[in-house]
Chains A and B, each alone.
Chain A
Amino acid sequence: MIQKPSILLQMRGSTSEEHVEDLRAGNAAAWQRFMKEQGRIILAVGRRVGLDASERDELFQNTCLIAYRSIGQLKDPERLSSWVYSIAYRTGIELARRRKPGGGEEEMQRLASEEPSADEVLERVELARHVREGLEKVGDTCRDLLAQLYLQADEPSYEEISRRLSMPIGSIGPTRARCLEKLRKALSSVSGREQLPTTGAEEADRSDRLS
């Protein structure tokens, strides 16, 4: 009997550069790690561009295949996540486009124009690390609502959220906005980012009050 190869070998190192080198060499353990770590990003992108659960699985597989074929083109190992995000984003749009042949092209073009830059992706990945910490600072109501809206795997509808949280459906939207504002401020202090700009409406209101 031939011994089966172990796919969970200890890898040579864990720095970004070493990890990408292992990926380029086709190291199975490195690709297992890639699929787990970058898989979150890929699946989040799938939700971002409006794919359903089975389409996101297809997106995951297609993105990993493309990444495997083209890992040699990645110049900066530190940008692995943003590189994967870009592949997933464009692949996701193609999947969404395929779902609606001949229709929704304007929506697809809008999505394509909104693809974040590599630096923006890295910033968002970094910010995501602080989200749970930020949610601890926004109070129970906001934490529960934002968790239902964005962190639940089953992606409940407003109707379901209303039932779960005993919150009127009509108040979910406005409450969401207030809670995201609170989270925005909490993340500013957690991530060390400057206080965020106000909207034009807020500036106009302030100007009215002062005049």
Chain B
Amino acid sequence: MTESFDTYEKSFEDAQNVFDGRLDVTDRSTAVLPTNGQQSVEFMVDNGEEAVDFAVDNGDEENKFFPVTIDTQYLRDDTSKLFVNRVLLMHNPRLGVLSPIIITKDPEHKGEFQITMLNQPYDAKIGFSKGMHFGVSVKAQTRVAGFGGHGQAGGFEQGHFSGVILGGSDNRIANSLVSGGDAATHDILAGALPDAPRKTGGISETMAAKGMLDIPEPITQPLPDKVLLQTYWHHKLEGDDGPVGGDYANATKLMLGAGVRALGAAGLERARLLVDDAVRGAA
């Protein structure tokens, strides 16, 4: 255990004492989240009494989850550095267990944030797996300035690549790309499928929803201002380089590779015809 983790433990014990009524202080206590010695981050250990009782009484070191409260109104200031693109856990109402979440900036609405939950259980014995890391990373890496930016990585332009892959799989998207070109690509990257009843949140969610990414379908929601989120931290959310986040290497390239595999030869041919049509339309 690192020194910072011990500090956190101590603060957590203080919080537990508060909840047990052994200390006559307010219902909050400050805890320091370990960040591998890089920085100390103060979190409020809040009144998730059951969580505290469970974490302490269970007697199982592996199953300790530490409540971390996020007040979304502070995401717009320096607090965002602590939480954006960092993995935490949250109660998943679909599964009734904890699932990984990641908060990302909403590139469509400056100053606003989204939250994405992977629809899979967090098992404390396994911790944050490779598949989970990929799942949060495709979200994080496709929702940052630069993804889909022309001029990125030479001719390999991932924004159009994503659009073409989806166009090869869905006639509505194909028609939209032919008629809308670049603007339609923007819509598709933002998760707005033609005729869709709702936005999916982004390209990774769209590809997962269409079965191109065989990962439990993530859900993305906008984050309102001035609400409290009850998240949880577990010690396996800390890697060798600090807190885990959306930094899986080549996540978007893998995503596109999976898209190409899902398309198959016939889908690729449709994609080629789609671009031919688009070129003819532009001529």
Q: Is chain B a partner of chain A in the same complex? A: no
What residues make up the interface of B, taking CB atoms closer than 8 Å to A? none
